[in-house]
Structure 1
Amino acid sequence: MKSFATQFEPYMQQFLEETKAPGMAVAVVSRNEVVYARGFGVRDRDTGAAVTPETIFGVASVSKSFTCLAIMQLALAGKLSPDDPVQKYLPAFDLPGGGGGRVTIHHLMTHAAGMPPLPALNYSIRGNTPKDPEESVEAQRPGLDASPETHGEKQSEQPGEAHESKVSGKGEPREKSFPRIDDFDQLIGYIRTGDYKVLGEPGQYVSYSNDCYGLLGAIIEKVSGRRFEDYMEENVLAPLEMGRSMYDLSDLQGFDNVTSLYIKDGEEVKHKRHWQVAPPFTACGWLKSTVLDLANYLRMYLGKGSWNGKQILSPDGIERMIHPHAPYSRDRKYCYGFTRLDDYHGVTLIEHSGSLRGVASNIGFIPEKGLGVAVLSNLTGTPSSRAWLAAVNLLLGLPVETPRSVYKKEAWPPEDVAEYAGTFKSGEGVTLKLSVKDGSLVATVDKKEYEVKRDSEDLGTLHLNGQDSEVRFLRDGDGRIWAVGWGGRIIRKTSG
């Protein structure tokens, strides 16, 4: 690992300068040991306290594979099957207009229940997270972290579709009202009665859905008879000796060496006091951990479910976890809580990333090489997947900036480009505006413009955060574009 460190550490120092991330931690594992672990930068800018491999960060959507692991444990114990209908365990679950009876646990695990991006997570965060003193009612909503490998949460400080309330007696507008989503019952009720159209039949479309994973947490509670957090502690975290990992925010208070949280406001990096809280969404992204604890988790996968003499999940269960269940992008498939890229220079990349306030994460492994990498950052929007891939590239003997996928990046045919223009909006608060300027297709994202290059029919890419991000156009039966696939989500066309 000496040669790895010699190349990787200068890259990381430059990476922190470029991204303005206050601090990051990285670990590399083999099947038998941690072969590299180091912190970069600081966990707190005010005190200058350094990040170490033991620093506790949020991991956001990296949590999703933990949730799927629990589902597979319960499946192998004969307590459920991924092919069971969700209503078998959550009878109140349904979709607007019906159809929820056809949704299975497998559909939830692969983001294929038919739900579009919804504002439920943002509502829950807003209703349960203490507000920093400097925050206003109309605090800026950061846009989607559109790194092509980021499959985490829409990063909203406020819900994407709040509703205006009545004017107060003094003529001052009240804070916008929004549904309370504080528990599983309220989440299920919102999904059942919400004002939205499903994308299609269960299994027809894959659109990244934190709501799906919130429901998986409810199923784990129902089937196990335990609080989700307690089940995960007893059956996953404790057996893996992840002693500095937890879901309950109250448990975090007893630990030292915990990172502070940072976001970007324009080009300025700002400190945020409070961890985001969204009780019914714990299963989708609320684990806190360290790169050393995540090293144990990755070694379990490399050991086909075995770690330190304990069988956490059977080899068959691990194979089902990383099976390419559903198409996710041009080259990648979605597994259970992971994405899979086959034939990356002769090997397979299994990974997942995540993003929340003060969190940017990416973990994954290379089964053929018996190697895994964990990357954590304390700044929202840090392209941790780039740092992860840089480490993987060096381990494979590739140039450090080798991309996951290569796209053609051609000009759109002049006679076709206009039909791709339009505005696309999601319930999470994401807006993607596409327009034609001087014959080129241009995307406006968070008030910045990016040219969209053509790869193939109905597939383009734009370059964000140092990576290519796919924009996939979906057509209806009449050949009209009705949505785009972007950032893992299917986002409907609203005008143009």
Structure 2
Amino acid sequence: MQQWTEAFEDFAKKLMEESEVPGAVIAVARDGEWIYQKSFGVRDQEQQLPLSMDTVFGIASVTKSFTCAAIMQLQEAGKLSVTDPVVRYLPEFRFLDDEMTNAITIEHFMAHTPGMPPLPYLDGAMKRSLEQDPAILGTEAEEELKTVPYLDTYEEVLDAIAKWEGTALGAPGTAFSYNNDGYGLLGAIIERVSNMSYEQYLTEHILDPLGMTRTVFAVEDLADSEDVTTLYTRKKIDGNEQVIAAPLWHDAPAMRACGFLKSTARDLMAYLEMFRTGGEAPAGVLSRASIQQMTAPHARCDGYRSYGYGLMISPAFPGGALIEHGGSLKGISSHVFVQPQTGLSGVVLCNVDGVPVRDLVLGVLNTISNRPADALIYPIEKMELPGERLGEYVGLYKSQEWMKAEIVSKENELYLEEDGKSYPLIPVGADSFVFRRGRSASWIDFFRSDEGIVERMSYSLRQLTKVG
């Protein structure tokens, strides 16, 4: 066993116990050669079925880079340009007014910068499968679902966005806020341009050429559907949160492009080779220029990370830029990473939601570099914030995706409060703070109006609006 793996596994086992993870798989390679593979737990608790590198898990938003790869292929074929306006391919698209609508380009969707705030339409697209899921009975999600329409087609998603009334975050290209709705519409653009369904295009032009035979949108499409994980989720029962089996896969036919692929550690490791080698291997799927465009920083996410096309980039990561993305849906916690300069790549897949999988990725990268598994990647340099300015940030912040967080002031310090937990905020820049949650540091920014009044906060990659 390599020296780093023992320290990593001690860290990983403790984290998974704390997070009550029924099952997980982790794979790591250097220069394309696997140096680590390990399964933790089981794919089915009741039957105690084992996991493997070929067990199918959900990957949720890791799907986004596949969608962007499809767009880049169509650009290489001369069928579109990422700088084209969305309305060229989706003339029904409308957001707020003509000026805003005509200014939004394909790459604004790819980089989460169309200026659209978080909207609730992914739940509308998932509504039929959510309604069939016993796991949501008696939860807040069940009540929230009643407020959104069924959005079963691209046309219904386009209509919902067109009818939305509110305020843009800013002109297209100026404000980053994670946006599933735009990614759903990238699927529609792929369909219009290729004259194929989004699912068929991805299968024939990306999955099949890469040999990803166990990567599908529906487990029913697998040649061998036995080695598929059961899904688990967290639910409060008699006031206590418990992990329960919740085997129904959620689906969103009109938004599959934002996060509904299923895959395996082995398939994803093959996919990551495309980004590790800059398109040289496997050859013919994407050009070096397209890979470079996908992995270039197009939008600032926070003080540590930027967003490319379907991928996040940490330019100052120790050892070289880190390319990564995570995913989370019911029964899914996923993360993939590539660090081209060190030749490292890896996959983490868990069969329950709410797992800090990025901490596991950082644990790999730390221990493999002889750092403690839970070492902070970036030092936190605290700035002094005058006490009289604290009140500017205090308030309740919400999004239409039902995300909310409150900033409170106690004893001359700011705290972020969410889900009954309180985190002290450390000022690190003008309107920028970090806080420790678990083993890592999270960054938040506040945004001001033209008059200098704090009106929004970035949190969990979304911009939340101050409502009180």
TM over 0.5: yes
CA distance 1:242–1:130, shift in 2 (3 Å): farther
| Alpha-carbon distance in structure 2 between the residues aligned to 1:320 and 1:66 | 14
Task: Kindly indicate whether the alpha-carbon contact (under 8 Å) linking 1:240 and 1:307 is maintained by their aligned counterparts in 2.
Answer: no
Q: Is the 8 A contact 2:233 2:246 kept in 1?
A: yes
Preserved CA contact (<8 Å) 1:365 1:373: yes
Q: Distance in 2 between the 1:116 and 1:196 partners? A: 9
Secondary structure of the 1:343 match is: coil
Shift of 1:71: 0.6
Aligned-pair distance for 1:55? 1.2
Instruction: Name structure 1 gaps, 5 residues minimum.
Output: 142-156, 163-175
- The aligned amino acid for 1:391 is V
Contact 1:37-1:292 within 8 A present in 2 as well: no
2:20 is equivalent to residue 50 of structure 1: no
1:359 and 2:332 equivalent? yes
Distance 1:184 1:244 in 2: 27
In the other structure, the counterpart of 1:288 is 262
Is 2:28–2:346's contact at 8 Å kept on the other side of the alignment?
yes
Kept in 1, the 8 Å contact 2:95–2:162? The answer is yes
The corresponding residue for 2:110 is 109
Cα deviation, residue 411, structure 1: 6.5
- In the alignment, residue 120 of structure 1 is paired with which amino acid? Y
Aligned to 2:175: 205
Distance 1:337 1:187, change over 3 A: same
Aligned to 2:204: 234
What is the Cα-based RMSD across aligned positions, in Å?
1.8
1:92 is paired with a residue whose SS is coil
Q: Return the letter of the residue paired with 1:43.
A: R
The answer on whether the counterparts of 1:409 and 1:461 sit within 8 Å (CA) in structure 2 is no
Deviation of the 1:91 alpha carbon: 0.4
Report the number of matched residues. 463
2:246 equivalent among 250, 272, 276? 272
CA distance, structure 2, for counterparts of residue 124 and residue 252 of structure 1: 24
Matched-pair contact (CA < 8 Å) for 1:473–1:483: yes
Judged with a 3 Å threshold, the aligned counterparts in structure 2 of structure 1 residues 366 and 34 are, in CA distance, closer, same or farther, namely same
1:126 aligns with 2:138: no
1:66 aligned partner: 66
1:180 aligns with 2:150: yes
- Give aligned-pair identity as a percent: 36
**C-alpha distance in 2, partners of 1:411/1:376?**
40
Given that 2:115 and 2:176 are in contact with CA atoms closer than 8 Å, whether structure 1 keeps it comes out as yes
Q: 1:47-78 deviations in whole A, cap 9, x for unaligned?
A: 11122211111001111111111111110111
Q: For 2:196, what is the secondary structure of its paired residue?
A: coil
Cα drift, residue 401 of structure 1: 1.6
What's the secondary structure of 2:162's corresponding residue?
A: helix
Distance 1:26 1:284 in 2: 23
Counterpart check, 1:334 vs 2:307: yes
Match of 1:15 in 2: 15
Q: Does the CA-based 8 Å contact 1:183-1:280 persist in structure 2?
A: yes
Alpha-carbon distance between aligned partners in 2 of 1:252 and 1:404, rounded to the nearest angstrom: 39
Gaps spanning 5+ residues in structure 2: where?
A: none
- Which residue does 1:305 correspond to in 2? 279
Task: Give CA deviations for 1:82-126 in whole Å, capped at 9, x if unaligned.
Answer: 010100100000102332111001111100001100000112222
Residues 32 and 299, structure 1, Cα contact 8 Å, conserved in 2: yes
Output one character per residue of 1:233-284: Cα deviation in whole Å (capped at 9) or x when no partner: 1111111111111013532585111111112235321221211111111011
Q: Which residue of 1 aligns with 2:218?
A: 248
Mapped contact 2:319–2:341 kept (Cα < 8 A): no
Query: Do the aligned residues in 2 keep the contact of 1:130 with 1:274 (CA within 8 Å)?
Result: no
State how far apart, in whole Å, the 1-side matches of 2:135 and 2:461 are.
Answer: 32
Is 1:190 the equivalent of 2:163? no
TM-score by length of 2: 0.94
Structure-2 separation of matches of 1:390 and 1:189: 44
Q: 2:326·2:358 contact (CA, 8 Å) conserved in 1?
A: yes
1:272-309, Cα deviation, whole Å (9 max, x unpaired): 1211111111011001001111000111212222335x
Asked if 1:370 corresponds to 2:371, the answer is: no
**Structure with the larger helix share:** 2
Equivalent residues in 2 for 1:85-104, closer than 5 Å: 85-98=85-98, 99-104=100-105
Which AA in structure 2 matches 1:445?
E
